[in-house]
Amino acid sequence: MKIEDLLNEIALALEISRERLSPETTSEQIDEWDSLGQISILARLDLVYQDITERVPDLATALSVQEIFRHLKAAGL
């Protein structure tokens, strides 16, 4: 997995333009990344990576692109 792939998936989940995200983006910087946005991101990741949130429960509390990326890489993606 590349960080660009993750940025694209988060943008799709939040229904925002990809240009608003960078590897350093946190939930505090994006209005759409609220509690419902977090659920949308998790649902999108589950869809793309076959129920990844069951295998990596820490994704539920990850509030930055880097943190999500680290968890996904640690899971072998």
pTM of structure: 0.94
Hey, what are 43's tokens? 């649902």
**Tell me, what's the pLDDT at 37?**
98
Residue 5's pLDDT band (boundaries 50, 70, 90)? Answer: very high
Q: What is the pLDDT of residues 10-26, one digit of tens each?
A: 999 999 999 999 999 99
Q: What is the pLDDT of residues 32-58, one digit of tens each?
A: 999 999 999 999 999 999 999 999 999
How far, in Å, CA of 75 to CA of 32, rounded?
A: 26
How far, in Å, CA of 21 to CA of 65, rounded?
A: 8
Q: Three-state SS across 14-29? A: HCCCHHHCCCCCEHHH
**Tell me, what's the pLDDT at 1?**
86
The H or E element spanning position 44 is: helix 35-48
**Cross-strand pairs, 26:** 64
Domains and CATH numbers, the chain: 3-74 (1.10.1200)
